[in-house]
Amino acid sequence: MVFQVTTKGAFRSGRKVALVGRYPDPDPALPPYIPNLGLYQVAASVTAGGFDDLDLRIWDFPKQDPQTIIDEINAFDPDVIGYSAYLWSLPVLMQINAALKKSDPDRLSVFGGPSARQNMLAHAPFAQMTQPDILAIGEGELTMTEIVALVRRDAETLAHIRGIVLRQGDGWKQTPPRHPAKLDDLASPYELGLVPQTGLGIMETYRGCPFTCSFCEWGVMDAPKNVRSVASISDEFHAIGENGRNTLLLVDAGLNLNKASFVNLSAAAEQTGFLKDRNLICEVYPAKVRDEHLKFLDGVGSPHIGVGLQSFDSEVLGEVERRYDEARFNNILTDLRSVARLAIEIILGLPGDSPEKFKLNFERARSLSYALRVYHCLVLPSALMKRSPKEHMLDYDPVTLKMRSCLGWTREGLAETVDFVNQHANRENGATGEFFWVFPRR
């Protein structure tokens, strides 16, 4: 399939590559810094691509004057610029992209990450800003490596790359999907020494999720081949340990949502002893906790588990394609508490919920002897923004994507409930962040 080309000329053909990401502003509910794993995985793939003339630099910065970043990248003078776009970074990255494209329109700009979507860029103020040349949809490691490998980067050639949305004139053209990457074949940014020696160690053992909850962007489970092997996980443990990290953040959809990956993770942990004296942060889906998961967590130095309940109300969960088994949930919490530190997670502003029902759920969650995280419902580009039915009547902030009103919530009711949670956080020594609240154990 080849698209009709509506642009002329070609972008620069060199292999000076800038990769750009931005950590959220200082936030009391967030750690000071977590490396952008996606950005460094792309960097590793491109670095391992065998390019003799590659010159690659990474900007993975926290709060900083955008003009400083613009000046530094302009001085580097890259041919290709890849951006890792999340809802907190997109406004600044779009500003940086506009300035860099103005200084040289022939630089190729590639946006990847969860916010690199057409429906997101159609919102004000992004629709009025200089648009990226390419959106990398889904996995970006092989896509970016293929783009860097091109000897000619004109629209016709770029249209043959799978897994992208290509800017052509005032519109977009999407190419066929890219086949999933085999995780064992991807280069490790830790082994290549690309990740700064600060923050948490981060690992993924599989991609995707077996569930299709409409508030979440994880999607559906990938093929079994997209699971890291025992050897690959063991090697990554070693590389992360060599970087001196004492805490591992597992960014999989859940510790117990992919049987093959859990078996491999457990075997690698047993063979290496890597987790025996370390902190582990991960998510657990309560309905699928089994004895083998409890045994694994019991062998971790200090496991910290997020339990994504979202709501105690089955009707509310039904609106977002989620289920809840109360009896099993209570039993599983008791079992998990014996081997890990737990935090219950609920969402404020889900379609079909209401201030009254949410407050009952909140009080119930606080009655349990666990920490609590309350997330403001976000209308994410590949989730509610794309999949919510019209009867949900979504009204949300076009930049932060925080829900303002929807089915069951008036603007006034949602704002008042946010104040309710703020007040509890202040009284209970909790932390109030931009997108969520953290409450300590009672």
Residue 180 lies in a domain: no
The domain of 265 spans 200-439
Domain boundary among the residues 157, 174, 191 is at 174
Q: Both 138 and 208 in a single domain? A: no
Domain of 329, CATH number, reads: 3.80.30.20
> Do residues 120 and 223 both lie within one domain?
no
- For the chain, the three-class secondary structure string (H helix, E strand, C coil) is CCCCCCCCCEECCCCEEEEEEECCCCCCCCCCCCCCHHHHHHHHHHHCCCCCCCEEEEEEECCCCHHHHHHHHHHHCCCEEEEECCCCCHHHHHHHHHHHHHHCCCCEEEEECCCCCHHHHCCCCHHHCCCCCEEECCCCHHHHHHHHHCCCEEHHHHCCCCCEEEEECCEEEECCCCCCCCHHHCCCCCCCCCCCCCCCEEECCECCCCCCCCCCCCCCCCCHHHECCHHHHHHHHHHHHHCCCCEEEECCCCCCCCHHHHHHHHHHHHHHCCCCCCEEEEEECHHHCCHHHHHHHHCCCEEEEEEEEECCCHHHHHHCCCCCCHHHHHHHHHHHHCCCEEEEEEEECCCCCCHHHHHHHHHHHHHCCCEEEEEECECCCCCHHHHCCHHHCCEECCCCCEEEEECCECHHHHHHHHHHHHHHHHHCCCEECCCEEEECCC
- Alpha-carbon distance of 384 to 378, in angstroms, equals 8
Q: Which of 293, 302, 291, 192 is nearest to 252 (CA)?
A: 293
Co-location of 210 and 103 in the same domain: no
Does some domain include residue 351?
Answer: yes
**Does the residue 141 lie in any domain?**
yes
Q: What is the pLDDT along the chain (442 residues), one digit of tens a residue?
A: 333 333 446 899 999 999 999 999 888 988 888 999 999 999 999 999 999 999 999 999 887 789 999 999 999 999 999 999 999 999 999 999 999 999 999 999 999 999 999 999 999 999 999 999 999 998 899 999 999 999 999 999 999 999 999 998 889 999 999 988 899 999 999 999 999 887 789 999 998 876 667 667 665 445 456 899 999 999 999 999 988 889 999 999 899 989 999 999 999 999 999 999 999 999 998 888 999 999 999 999 999 999 988 777 777 777 666 665 666 777 888 899 999 999 999 999 999 999 999 999 999 999 988 999 999 999 999 889 998 999 999 999 999 999 999 999 999 999 999 999 999 999 999 999 999 999 999 8
pLDDT of residue 4: 35
Last residue of a domain, one of 114, 140, 174: 174
CATH of the domain at 57: 3.40.50.280
Domain assignment of residue 182, yes or no: no
pLDDT score for 327: 64
Structure pTM?
0.92
Is 184 contained in some domain? Answer: no
Q: State residue 216's pLDDT score.
A: 74
Structural domain includes residue 4: no
Confidence (pLDDT) at 316? 74
Clarify whether residues 159 and 285 are in a common domain: no
Query: Are residue 382 and residue 237 in the same domain, yes or no?
Result: yes
Same domain membership, residue 373 and residue 337: yes
Beta bridge partners of residue 227, listed in sequence order: 206
- Give yes or no: residues 235 and 161 share one domain: no
Identify the domain boundary among 174, 192, 216.
174
Q: Do 253 and 385 fall within a single domain?
A: yes
Residues 233 and 156 in one domain: no
Are 167 and 206 part of one and the same domain?
A: no
Q: Distance from CA of residue 417 to its chain's centroid?
A: 26
> Does 213 lie in the same domain as 292?
yes
Is residue 94 assigned to a domain? Answer: yes
Is residue 191 one of the residues assigned to a domain? no
Predicted pLDDT at 44: 98
Number of domains comprising the chain: 2
226 and 280 in a single domain? The answer is yes
Report whether 346 contacts 405 (CB < 8 A).
no
